[in-house]
Structure 1
Amino acid sequence: IIDPLGIRSEPACATCTTNSVIDSISAGDRIGSRMIERIAWKKAGQQKGQVEQISSRRAEQRIAQRMDEQSNERIGTTNYRWETELREPMRKRGNYPRAVSIWSSPDRLHLTAVQGQNSQLAAPTAPPAAPTDNLSVQVHQSLIANTAVNTIGGMTITDERAQELVMELTGDVPEELKIKQDEDPWSITFDLQQPVAVSFNDNQVRIAIRGRKFVRGNQVVRQTTQIAANYQLQIADGRVQLVRQGDIDVSYPDKDGDRLSLTELRNKTFLTNKFEGLFKKELTGEGLKLPDQWANLKDLALGYAAADNGWLSLGWQ
């Protein structure tokens, strides 16, 4: 039984059937041995069914007990990892889903989750028909927005912390984000309500980061600043790939066409150059690799990718 708390099992049930065959009964060469053997054969025939039934029940108990011991050990390990590697870290960060449902059909295991606090809006529409691949994932754009609000909304990140985060997420720091001795330190304070926004439409993915304050050296910009990039969604060698359409767009939404100050213009140029390393011209996923215990099987290859009406749908074979 799988539910949001983990995996549970019912006691194992085993059915065994014992068939016994008596090859011979010997009473030796003593006097009356033949009579003794005839009586023994008759007695054995009368008790054969009862003995087989007792043997079957004992075998069932041994096998069921062994199954319970083996399954409990594996389930315990799985539940421990589920709790320590997923549930607890997400709860600490405040982004564990507020609702999780798990159920199964004859050939699939299904999981749905609603991400966000009670005051946050989730998907207003149902997802499109799910891909029929071996593994399918459908994500609404609100999941990313709500997670970002709960995780980094209002947070200030310095250039050093930004470098650390990119290293943790990607294993590499782009040249544009590396700290240089001849550059002033900088920091960005994320917007409280919409620090990150992602939209899925017409197989396009738009990613936008929004800050409410930007500091560079002794210069401070207290204007809402948005850094955004548009990508085309496609499949490359069985992996998801995003290809940037045009240049990075750095804008000040609250200015609404007003003339920018010299500091704002310099800030815009600086952010464009810095985030060139984050919003690369091509972003390619690493693909899905099966666990070590299934190393003899082929890795899953992405065969379906669509982004429309706020939903991202992916399918692997």
Structure 2
Amino acid sequence: MYRVRPLFARLLFASMAFITVFSSTTRAQWSSGDRQRLASELELAAKNLDPSQFPAVAESSAAVVSSINAAELFFAQQTDPANGAAWLEYLDLNPLRELIASEASATDIAREAISLRFRLVGTTPGLELSKLMLLRRDLERLIEAVRLRDADRAEKAVAKQMESLAEKIREMDDSPSADDVSTIGAVIGLLHSSGQASGLVESFRNQFSRPNMAILIDESMVQSAINRGVNQSRPVRDCILGTRIVGNASLNGVITADLLPSIGEVRVQVALAGCVSSQNTGYNGPVRLQTSGTGTVNVSRLLHISEAGISADNAFVQATLNTNIDAIEHRLRLVRRIARKKAAEQKPNADRIAVEKLRSQVGAQFVEQTDSATAVSPPDVLGNVRPVLKRLSLDEPARLWGSTDQEIFIDSTFRRHDQLGSVVTRPAIFAAYDAAVQLHESVVDNAMTPLLAGRTMREGDFEGLIAETGLPIETQAGVAESGSSVLADENTDSEDGDEDQDPFEIDFANLRPIIFEARDQTVRVGVRGTRFAQGKRELKQAMEITAVYESARAEDGRVLLLRKGDVDVSFPGPGKRLSVSQAGLKRTIQKKFDDVFPAVLLDKSMTVPMTSKLESLRGRVFRPELVEANDGWLTVGVGQID
């Protein structure tokens, strides 16, 4: 009689690719009282450090050697010879093992351990192997052990950092800056890796435990996949109280979906509201009855949706039916009179039976259709992402599903065991949108610091890392080929000399190697480095290479991010005056990064491919219609183009 689109379930599961925060207001959770309390805890913990808990160099070195041997054995026994040889050549495990065996200086051991650790952190398929993850963990412990090898000196250094952080925390305001959060995170990470002040570490993690990634799926997107009109006819073949009924019935109505408030799952109320009409002929012996009927039917069912799948409550069905006997046909008047009298006597009972049959039939069909939706297996949305997270030494984000009466949300916190989330809830969105992504500054810091902190990368390396994930790299000219570089400056004037054509390399800073700030309706992005080199020229100095973007609305209504001015290259902190050569290198840095930070972002619409499994979304075009940056949160809302 009618059909509910089972594909709406896939739409709901597709929203798992995005992560959302459930909150209606921006509210700081970093009050003056909180700051004073944590600062006092820091100062107290600084006086009670336990150097015996520092990782020991000897034990850590032995663990690394054991993990190296296990990795070599794995590649020798569990992979084909060519593949195993290629991996061992890439990993180059012998130098570190030989340094440890020869009892080389701790500095040399640490330097080689750091180099090997960088080879184990990336996007290359295979780095998620358990043997390599174990080796990476042991390397990180060895690096920390070397760092803290002089227990007395290390204890004083750690205590000094804690006391300095306590003083800094007291001076912070209700909305800490990205630098503030990163500084806190660095100290908390140090305490965690050195086995100190576990209660204090947990206090900070609890304080900075707000979700830091978000997406909202508006109810209209769900309704566009489910809501539809129903206009169906079917033949009637039935028997009620000995009367055989033949005819046709039609159902006209609408199927609708409404979101309901829920935390822990998404709740969707799917309902059918329709009008029924029929024209039938009843046969009872030699008598024929011409009947017509009108009625209503209302069916609803509550669906519960989560990563585990879709379940449904029992359907609730209501129906009414009013049947009229339009004519009784028989050649004898007496028979017609008797039939009319008997029909009148049986009509109440017959109507009750007919209503129940209507309820049962429509309800069963509705359950069948909605059951087809619950049979859809939820996709493992982190299936492709999970290996990449392991390769990058990152933890799987925690997630919480839910819904309000206006939107679907999935609340997620992306951080490792030694990292922090957000201390500020997401800002409310007052503009209309079909879907809105929200990203906190801590996400970028948490994702990029383990990969890039202290690392040396050459021009094009970063694109290669991303290309290995299978994600497209979009540039001003389109999508870059794997191995190509958006950093290449194809428009360099020949008068700049051949040296400007040489590839460059940059040493990333240990603290916030990637800058991402969303404050006061501006977005600031960039990199922090400690060295930049190109050809024979080298600049060894702390530097920030940044671009600032502001939102602007185009004539067609779309929202863009426009870069304000040129790429900025600054050298924070005290430093020597740049030489002529270094000043020239600064101009080269600006030129090279001009393509990294294009003049316009978010200038392209997004079209859902016609091959999408979401039939209701195929061919739809979306574009950014909302961009806001406040309190460390970047919000991008998209809407459908009619």
Normalised by the length of structure 1, the TM-score is 0.71
How far the C-alpha of 1:59 sits from its partner, in A, is 6.2
Letter in 2 for 1:144: V
User: SS where residue 273 of structure 1 aligns?
Assistant: helix
1:235 pairs with 2:553: yes
Q: 1:154 and 1:72, CA in 2 relative to 1: closer, same or farther beyond 3 A?
A: farther
Partners of 2:541 and 2:575 within 8 A in 1: no
Change (3 A) 1:65 1:299: same
Partner of residue 285, structure 1: 602
Q: Partner residue of 2:627?
A: 305
1:127 aligns with 2:426: yes
One-letter identity of the residue aligned with 1:299:
F
Matched position secondary structure for 1:106:
coil
**RCO (CA 8 Å, sep 6+): is it higher in 1 or 2?**
2
User: Residue 218 of structure 2 corresponds to which residue in structure 1?
Assistant: none
SS of the residue corresponding to residue 224 of structure 1 reads strand
Could you tell me which amino acid in structure 2 is paired with residue 233 of structure 1?
A: S
C-alpha change, 1:179 and 1:150, in structure 2 (3 Å) is farther
Contact 1:204 1:232 in 2 (8 A): yes
Letter in 1 for 2:368: Q
- Secondary structure, counterpart of 2:551 in structure 1: strand
Does the residue aligned with 1:299 lie in a helix, a strand or coil?
A: strand
1:1-317, aligned counterparts within 5 Å? 1-2=265-266, 5=307, 7-10=309-312, 13=315, 15=317, 53=356, 57=360, 60-61=363-364, 63-69=366-372, 71-73=373-375, 75-76=376-377, 79-80=378-379, 82-85=381-384, 89-90=388-389, 92-94=391-393, 98-135=397-434, 136-162=436-462, 164=464, 168-170=473-475, 171-172=479-480, 174=486, 176-177=488-489, 183-217=501-535, 221-237=539-555, 238-254=557-573, 256-261=574-579, 264-280=582-598, 282-287=599-604, 289=606, 291=608, 292=610, 293-295=616-618, 299-300=622-623, 302=625, 304-317=626-639
Is the alpha carbon distance of 1:80 and 1:129 closer, same or farther for their aligned partners in structure 2, counting shifts above 3 Å? closer
Q: Distance in 2 between matches of 1:12 and 1:92?
A: 45
Unaligned runs of 5+ in 2: 1-264, 267-304, 327-338, 493-497, 611-615
CA distance in 1: counterparts of 2:540 and 2:627, whole angstroms: 39
Whole-Å separation in 2 of the counterparts to 1:102 and 1:234:
33
Q: CA RMSD in A?
A: 4.5
> In the aligned structure 1, how far is the partner of 2:628 from the partner of 2:320?
56
* Structure 1 counterpart of 2:420, one-letter code: L
Secondary structure, counterpart of 2:528 in structure 1:
strand
Deviation at 1:106, TM superposition (A): 1.3
Corresponding residue SS for 1:223: strand
Shift of 1:129: 2.8
Q: 2-side partners of 1:125 and 1:259: how far apart?
A: 40
* Residues 61 and 6 (structure 1), Cα distance of their counterparts in 2 relative to 1, 3 Å cut: same
C-alpha contact (below 8 Å) 2:460/2:487 kept by paired residues: no
Alpha-carbon separation, structure 2, partners of 1:220 and 1:107: 56
Shift of 1:130: 1.9
Question: Contact 2:516/2:525 (CA < 8 Å) preserved in 1?
Answer: yes
> Who is 1:34 aligned against?
none
Q: Tell me the alpha carbon deviations over residues 214-248 of structure 1, each in whole angstroms, 9 at most, x when there is no partner.
A: 34345555433321122333222543323333332
Contact 1:154 1:192 in 2 (8 A): yes
In structure 2, distance between residues paired with 1:22 and 1:157: 86
Structure with higher helix content? 2
Letter of the 2:422 partner, please give it.
Answer: A
Identify if the C-alpha distance between structure 1 residues 56 and 245 changes in structure 2 by more than 3 Å, giving closer, same or farther. Answer: closer
Tell me whether 245-254 or 100-109 shows the greater mean CA deviation: 245-254
Contact 2:554/2:560 (<8 A) preserved: yes
TM-score by length of 2: 0.39
User: SS in structure 2 opposite 1:228?
Assistant: strand
Distance 1:297 1:106, change over 3 A: same
Which residue identity does 2:617 align to in structure 1?
W
Contact 2:427 2:630 survives alignment (8 Å)? no
CA contact (8 A) 1:120 1:146 kept: yes
Deviations 1:84-128 (A, max 9, x none): 355564565455664333321112223333332243333333333
Distance of 1:85 and 1:290 partners within structure 2? 22
The structure-2 alpha-carbon separation of the partners of 1:266 and 1:4, relative to structure 1 and needing over 3 Å to count, comes to farther
Question: Counterparts of 1:72 and 1:86 in 2: how far apart (Å)?
Answer: 25
**Could you give the per-residue CA deviations for residues 239-295 of structure 1, whole angstroms, max 9, x where no partner exists?**
3323333332223335x1422356643432321221122123x21314553635335
2:26 alignment counterpart: none
AA paired with 1:240? V
* Offset of residue 68 of structure 1: 1.2
1:18 Cα shift? 9.8
Query: Which amino acid letter does the alignment assign opposite residue 113 of structure 1?
Result: S
Calculate percent identity across the aligned residue pairs.
21
Query: Which of 307-316 and 48-57 deviates more?
Result: 48-57
**C-alpha displacement of 1:133:** 1.1
- SS of structure 1 residue aligned to 2:444: helix
CA distance in 1: counterparts of 2:447 and 2:362, whole angstroms = 52
Distance 1:13 1:197 in 2: 52
Alignment partners' CA distance in 2, 1:120 and 1:155: 19
> 8 Å contact 1:97–1:114 — kept in the other structure?
no
Q: Deviations over 1:182-228 (max 9, x none)?
A: 74333223223311112223322222201234343455554333211
Contact 1:153 1:194 (8 Å CA) reproduced: yes
Which secondary structure does the structure 1 equivalent of 2:423 belong to?
A: coil
Query: Helix, strand or coil for the counterpart of 1:208?
Result: strand
Secondary structure (helix, strand or coil) at the match of 1:260 reads coil
User: Which letter maps to 2:565?
Assistant: G
Q: What amino acid is aligned across from residue 243 of structure 1 in structure 2?
A: L
The aligned residue for residue 244 of structure 2 is none
